[in-house]
Amino acid sequence: MSLAHFEEGWQFLGDTARKVVRQLERKGASAVEAFFSASRTTEVTIRNSQVLTENAIEDMGVGFRVATVDNRVGFACTNIVGNEKALIETGEKAFSIAKLSPSTPHFALPANEKSPYVDGLFDKEAANVAVTEFVDVAYRLIHSVEDIDRRIKAKDGRVSCSYSKKGIVNSFGVDKEADETYVFAYVLGTGMQNGEVTPSCYDFELKRNFKLNPEDVGAKVGEMVVAQFNPKPIESFEGTVVFEPEAVSYQICDALIHALKGENVVARNSPWVGKIGSAVTSEKLTIVDDGVLEKGFGSRNFDDEGHPSQKTVLISNGKLESFLHHAATANKLKMKNTGNASRFNASFEMAKQIIGNGYKAKPEVYPSNLTIRAGKKDQSQLVSKIKKGLLVGSMAGFVQAGSGLISAQLVRAHYVENGQVKYPVKGGMVTGIAFDWLNQISDLANDSKQFQNSVVPSICVENVKVIGSR
């Protein structure tokens, strides 16, 4: 579809969604919300030193949440948006589902409040980049990885840009729209030495414009691969571990998000229920959710229910200050809505992955940019203090929901002794309870990196159990 067709389709979708909301209100619904979104994504994928495919995907749809006077709630959505009839039917379907649902007592939608304007979330140029430029960036990624060392191959990668639009209309005066662009450039490399393949090493850029630095990303990946040559197995021990941003952003952030999510506080699954005002982590740790970070990948003017974005202090010098909320969890717990309704988070739950995100999903609480306050030292200064331990670049394996158990495979890790990085580690795991680790943090570095929904530095954790494969 041409851009003009796309904009036209969007206009029709918004107008019709508004009409359906008003119709359902007239038919007796006490609260109605339409969330409509559209995206045009172009992506080029890399496989085995070549561009594998070029894809262009466009999607547009609407989801209706409808509540009856006694707070029975139904949801229905569709991407059949070319005619009014299909949208009306979808709204009606949500209403009929609501009527036969039991009541959800604390259901709530936000009222209309003015949203901030966050700079740098949309770039007109990025929305119109020609596919040949994607191909160019892809080949530059491949070459810059492989130029580092002839034993390295670029195995996998992606260059993509989404031009995405979202709109929200509800019965309480919310009527907001926003345009955003999301640019992603990623490359993964491995090296072959003595018949042995190194672990996968990758790096990426998450941006809002198409000003990419494929040479930097590629070179960094190449260097990571070289650092993995000649790995050695290690013995089991307990020691000091510096987790690099990648490792922090994954398992450790997942544990944090689980503990901070409003739904888990409501369900009393969070280990931090009732602990507001108390120390829950090392006093070295300060965490904010920053929805208004300029050019931030997880930033937005308003959340996916239309509540204004904000900056929320979650943990201040180890003390729990707030949880993350959307309208319903805030209402249930009589706390303030923090603007963390999200329909785009990457859930591991199978049912949610099947359903998909955006207009297909009901909002759930999720951070915008979960930001761990960086320290003042370089990562190398943290490593130089280690007597016996590891520098962990990346780990595989999920954190166990609720318990916070991490038992992760070391993917990219180096053994450290007396402040010296000795050699890459072959196999092995680290294990412990994430919430214990958060109390064992002895320092943080100044190397913060942007991930999809977080901005985090390297952190140093004492007394971590390392399982060797020897």
Partner 1 sequence: MFEIIEKNLKSKEASRASLVQLRGQKRTMTLCTVLNGVLESFSQIDLSGVSARTLVQSKSWGFSSTNRLKKENVEQTLKTAVVLASASAKNKPKEAKVKELPAQVATIKADAKKPFEKASLEDIKEIPFDACQGAMEAEVASAKATFLAVQDQKWFASSEGSRIYQKLTCLLLFVDVIAKRGSLYCPASENLGHTGGLELFDMTPPASLGKEVAERAVKLLSAKPPPSGKFQVILHPTICATLLHEAIGHPLEADLAMEGGGFGDYVDKPVMSKLVTIYDDGMVERGLGYLPYDDEGIKSSRTFLVKNGVLKSFMHDRTSAAAMNVLPTGNAHAWDYSVEPLIRQTNIGIEKGDFDEKEMIEDIKEGLFIQGTFGGQADASADFTFGFQNAYWIRHGKLEEMTRGANLSGNAISVFKTVDAVSKNVVLRPGACGKGQFAIQGRVVPAVRCEILVGGAGS
Please list every residue from 155 through 214 that binds partner 1, using CB under 8 A: 155-156, 190, 192, 197, 199-200
Span from 288-296, 412-420, 427-435, 446-454 in contact with partner 1 (CB under 8 A) = 427-435
Cβ nearer to partner 1, comparing 23 with 407: 407
Nearest approach, Cβ of residue 358 and partner 1 (Å): 11
The three-class DSSP label of residue 73 is strand
Nearest approach, Cβ of residue 117 and partner 1 (Å): 30
Nearest approach, Cβ of residue 310 and partner 1 (Å): 26
Assigned token pair, 241: 């571990």
Residue 3 in contact with partner 1, rule: CB under 8 A: no
Distance CA 17, CA 79 (A): 12
Site string for partner 1, 317-336 (x = CB under 8 A): --------------------
DSSP code per residue over 26-61: HTT-SEEEEEEEEEEEEEEEEETTEEEEEEEEEEEE
Residue from the set 21, 66, 76, 383 that interacts with partner 1 by CB under 8 A: 76
Distance CA 93, CA 463 (A): 55
Q: What contacts 24+ positions apart, CB below 8 Å, involve 21-28? A: 21/64, 21/91, 21/169, 21/170, 21/171, 23/88, 23/91, 24/64, 24/66, 24/91, 24/92, 24/94, 24/95, 25/171, 27/95, 28/68, 28/69
Interacting positions 27-56 with partner 1 (CB under 8 A): 44, 47-48, 50-56
CA distances from residue 117 to 15, 34, 234 in whole angstroms, order as listed: 23, 22, 51
Nearest approach, Cβ of residue 248 and partner 1 (Å): 18
Cβ nearer to partner 1, comparing 316 with 400: 400
Residue from the set 4, 26, 132, 150 that interacts with partner 1 by CB under 8 A: 132
Distance CA 224, CA 293 (A): 29
Residue 91 in contact with partner 1, rule: CB under 8 A: no
Task: Kindly tell me the sign of the dihedral angle through the C-alpha atoms of 112, 117, 118, 123.
Answer: positive
Interacting positions 264-303 with partner 1 (CB under 8 A): 267-269, 271
Interacting positions 366-425 with partner 1 (CB under 8 A): 396-398, 400-405, 407-409, 411
DSSP code per residue over 246-284: HHIIIIIHHHHHHHHBHHHHHTT-STTTT-TTSB-S-TT
Cβ nearer to partner 1, comparing 93 with 284: 93
Nearest approach, Cβ of residue 65 and partner 1 (Å): 9
Nearest approach, Cβ of residue 356 and partner 1 (Å): 8
Cβ nearer to partner 1, comparing 141 with 444: 141
